[in-house]
Structure 1
């Protein structure tokens, strides 16, 4: 009997665990790289981080109150989740790439591709940069 082929995408339980910090099997590394560094990665991560807050705050909307009270009880909690998920987005994605044994620099890959012409124009005009690499070159 032949062995079943290794999965390349996570099932529902693996996906939920992965969303909140678990490591996926090595057969799914390409999916992880695309998820954390591909198009829409920032938005996906922000949504994943806001889901627990929304689940916790949903019962507040069941209590009969005015719209003003609903908003004043939930928004002060939800807004920091949105801000922090945006502020720590790259940090978390780099952590998850490192956790899966991938290059954390993949997070900036799309930006480097987009801005490559700017760097090429700089090198053409002023020559290559010298000195230690800055944190923005990671």
Structure 2
């Protein structure tokens, strides 16, 4: 297992879609599938839109109007980000030469354990 980590410029490039060197595949796998991956993904998708949403605060009137306008854009943004996450994960794994089957490995392992437990209880 390589402990290679990207430097600052490589990290910025990676966030914007660039490919990292092959010796950082383990880091990419952990970034895409490891602990905190969902949080990192959502932060990367939501952070760029925040400055644009804050422009709505310049609209005159009661503060609830700009806040409501922000929510009308932010909620679908988050919804689609969550819905498209598996596609993004598969793309990032393929982009870095990793097996996209890693994406469902935890679910398959859990299903195998449940199936084995079911077969032990109820026979086949």
**Smaller-chain TM-score range?**
0.7 to 0.9
Residues 60, 14 of structure 1: alpha-carbon distance in 2 compared, 3 angstrom cutoff: farther
Q: Aligned residue for 1:67?
A: 63
What is the distance in 1 between the residues matched to 2:118 and 2:38? 28
For structure 2, the 5+ residue unaligned runs are: none
Q: Secondary structure at the match of 2:97?
A: coil
Q: Aligned residue for 2:49?
A: 53
The alpha-carbon deviation at position 84 of structure 1 amounts to 0.6
- Listed as ranges, the matches of 1:119-138 within 5 Å are 119-121=115-117
The alpha-carbon deviation at position 98 of structure 1 amounts to 0.3
Residues 59, 12 of structure 1: alpha-carbon distance in 2 compared, 3 angstrom cutoff: farther
Q: Aligned residue for 1:107?
A: 103
- Supply the RMSD in Å over aligned alpha carbons: 2.4
What is the distance in 2 between the residues matched to 1:44 and 1:126? 43
Is 1:94–2:117 an aligned residue pair? no
Name the TM-score, length of structure 2 as normaliser.
Answer: 0.81
Count the aligned residue pairs. 122
The alpha-carbon deviation at position 122 of structure 1 amounts to 5.0
Name the TM-score, length of structure 1 as normaliser.
Answer: 0.74
What is the distance in 2 between the residues matched to 1:20 and 1:126? 51
